[in-house]
A = this chain, B = another copy of it.
Amino acid sequence: MGSDRATPVVDLESVRAVCAGCSIQELCLPYGLDKDDLEQLDRIIERKRPLAAGELAYAEGDPFRALFAVRSGVLKTYLLEAEGEEHITGFHFPGELVGLDAISGGIHACSARALDTTSLCEIPFDRLDDLAGRIGGLRQQLFRLMSREIHQDDRERRNQAQAVADPRLAAFLLDVSGRLSKLGFSATTFRLKISNRDLANYLGLAPETVSRLFRRFRERGLATVQSKEVRIHDPERLRALARSLEE
């Protein structure tokens, strides 16, 4: 697994990519901006070459200079424990902003690594802040995105606080399903490039437990998860399970 940083090499093709043509602009920073404002935002955004699976977007401790928007792919963010263990704090899909946790401290509070080929938009924060002062719509969207992050963290905490493991995994699958369907993907069949180990880490379970849970889900006809391919067969019962309303 490569530990090398994303190099600032610019892909000439993608330089011309603009928010206006981006399929996820409605879920991202540009939401609600008119043409002029969008152009101003566009000008400060740097689009790098895609990261390969395993590459770092940034590392814990790096000076904070920019936020990153996921354009395609998946990212995991994680804290490093005393013994060098990772502790995964989240998985991030297109339209999501990462690096928000670094604003307050001035250095990145976690590391971000691509789990798949992943394209990012880099948004220098000082310039974004400046724009946010002048463009009310942008400022408000930034507030909304940060607020959404806080709200989702709270909801995820609720799931994690469940003592029993089934609802946690069920809630996770539904969460991902919902996020992906907002992007236009199928809510019932998708590819999840997250290893069993990473998933277990994120959910606070042993990898063996996650494996056993997937088997139970399959036996009960709730969902099939085989080699990263997820098929949700019974969203309703899965939802019930996520709320601990089912045995």
Q: Which A positions have Cβ atoms within 8 angstroms of B?
A: 77, 79, 81-82, 87, 89-90, 100-105, 109-110, 129, 132-134, 136, 139-140, 142-151, 153-158, 160-163, 201-206, 243, 245
Secondary structure dominating the interface of A: helix
- Find the residue from A87, A145, A205 having the highest chain B CB count within 10 A: A87
Known: A153-B153, A204-B161. A82 touches B133 (CB 8 A): no
Contact residues in B for A201 (Cβ distance below 8 Å): 161
| Contact assessment for B150 and A150 in the assembled complex, using a CB-CB cutoff below 8 Å | yes
Copies in the complex: 2
Minimum distance in angstroms from A199 CB to a CB of chain B: 12
Complex Cα spacing A132 to B202, Å? 35
Contact residues in B for A144 (Cβ distance below 8 Å): 103-104
Q: Which of B89, B105, B158, B163 contacts A79 (CB 8 A)?
A: B158
Known: A150-B146, A150-B149, A154-B101. A162 touches B204 (CB 8 A): yes
The residue of chain B having its C-beta at the shortest distance from the C-beta of A153 within the complex is B153
Q: Which of B136, B156, B245 contacts A157 (CB 8 A)?
A: B156
Name 10 interchain pairs, CB-CB below 8 A, sorted by A.
A82-B245, A87-B158, A89-B154, A100-B147, A104-B145, A105-B151, A132-B133, A133-B139, A143-B146, A162-B204
Complex Cα spacing A143 to B142, Å? 9
| Contact assessment for A140 and B149 in the assembled complex, using a CB-CB cutoff below 8 Å | no
Minimum distance in angstroms from A234 CB to a CB of chain B: 18
| Contact assessment for B143 and A101 in the assembled complex, using a CB-CB cutoff below 8 Å | no
| Contact assessment for A151 and B243 in the assembled complex, using a CB-CB cutoff below 8 Å | no
| Contact assessment for A150 and B153 in the assembled complex, using a CB-CB cutoff below 8 Å | yes
